[in-house]
Amino acid sequence: MKGLKFIIAGVLFGIVMSKSEAISWYRIQEMFRFQSFHMYGIIGTAVAIGVISIFLIKKYQLKDIEGKVIMIPDKEKGWKKGIFGGTIFGMGWAVTGACPGPMFVNLGQGYLAFLLIIVGATIGTYAYGIFKDKLPH
Amino acid sequence: MLELIQAPWPWYVSGAMISLIMILMFFFGKTFGFSSNFRTICAACGAGKKAKFFDFDWKTQQWNLLFLIGSVIGGYLSANYLNNGQPLQLAESTVADLNSLGITFDGMMNPLQLFGTENLFNLQGFITLLGGGLLVGFGSRYAGGCTSGHAITGLSSLQLPSLIAVIGFFIGGLVMTHLIFPLIF
């Protein structure tokens, strides 16, 4: 089954997010109050290893399992979407203590209230799709 | 070994594991980015008839929905089998700050006061949960990604738009925590 590896990667992600406590509303509060190094340590380590890995992937033109050279897509240019969209996202991140991934991990943890947050995020995404052309990017 | 897994993981192990997942997705021929799933869900529900943004073949994104299902299972396994039952070790200063907002630290992953199921059935809880989700969904798509796509994959590939987005994430988080929380809690 071709899809199984993605489910397994997702399971691993759910476990990592849980055991790192990055899905914890409390830890996100700690981060936005600068009262612990924990979250900064997690993101910092992930990015540091990420930078080196991507450098090596590009340098040696490593291939994926289908034999294609790994390409990392460029994000769209423009600063307005990052500042405006990012700020809106950050406000929601502080309220819910969860970015999109951790919403689903928390649901699996048994916090059913996250279902409503997930519904909200889906409606929010839909609203963006409707108003996209009227927003500065 | 199991005891070691059941205890909370140190930040450097956690960070390394997150980059491992990102690299794994590259080798699977995909890019790590969770929030795209909401767009896929909208598209699968037929939103393509209403907006061009959702008019694509959502089936090409099925892999990410499988990743999403896996993440729910991972959360379930962690809570039920990979947990040593010890309370979360939160900074004393955070406990005190939250106390002054009327939020009592309960040692769980999330405060039941805000995320207990009963919050679905009272007005303030309902608005906070739905509204918080709306902000995350709207903001992540507007910014072109969330923490996984921008803070992890984007910063790791040294992309300026991702750095700007992460700065935005923090502006929003700081405004909400320090200026708006005292008004709503």
B88 DSSP assignment:
P
Is B151 touching A (CB cutoff 8 A)?
yes
What's the domain count of chain B?
1
CA terminus-to-terminus distance, chain B: 42
pLDDT band at B1 (very low <50, low <70, confident <90, very high): confident
Is position B42 within any domain? yes
CA distance A110 to chain B (A): 7
Strand partners, B40: none
pLDDT score of A2: 84
pLDDT, tens digit, for every residue of A20-45?
Answer: 999 999 999 999 999 999 999 999 99
Give the number of other CB atoms < 10 A from CB of residue B2.
Answer: 9
% of chain B residues with pLDDT over 70: 100
pLDDT score of A5: 97
φ and ψ at B130, to 5 degrees? -65, -45
Is position B45 within any domain? yes
pLDDT band at A61 (very low <50, low <70, confident <90, very high): very high
User: Which residue bears the tokens 């071709």?
Assistant: A2
Contact A101 B71 (CB under 8 A): yes
% of chain B residues with pLDDT over 90: 97
Q: List all residues 6 or more positions away from B57 whose beta carbon is below 8 Å from its beta carbon.
A: none
Is position B144 within any domain? no
User: Across chain B, where does the E strand assignment appear?
Assistant: none
Give residue B65's domain range. 1-86
Is position B183 within any domain? no
Check pLDDT > 90 for residue B75: yes
Q: Residue range A66-82: average pLDDT?
A: 94
Contact A3 B135 (CB under 8 A): no
pLDDT score of B95: 98
User: Which residue bears the tokens 């892999």?
Assistant: B63
Is position B118 within any domain? no
Is position B53 within any domain? yes
User: Would the pTM of this model clear 0.90, i.e. be above it?
Assistant: yes
State how far the alpha carbon of B109 is from the alpha carbons of A118, B89, B135, in Å: 18, 10, 22
Please report residues of B whose CB lies closer than 8 A to that of A116. 120, 126, 129-130, 133
Is position B33 within any domain? yes
Is position B136 within any domain? no
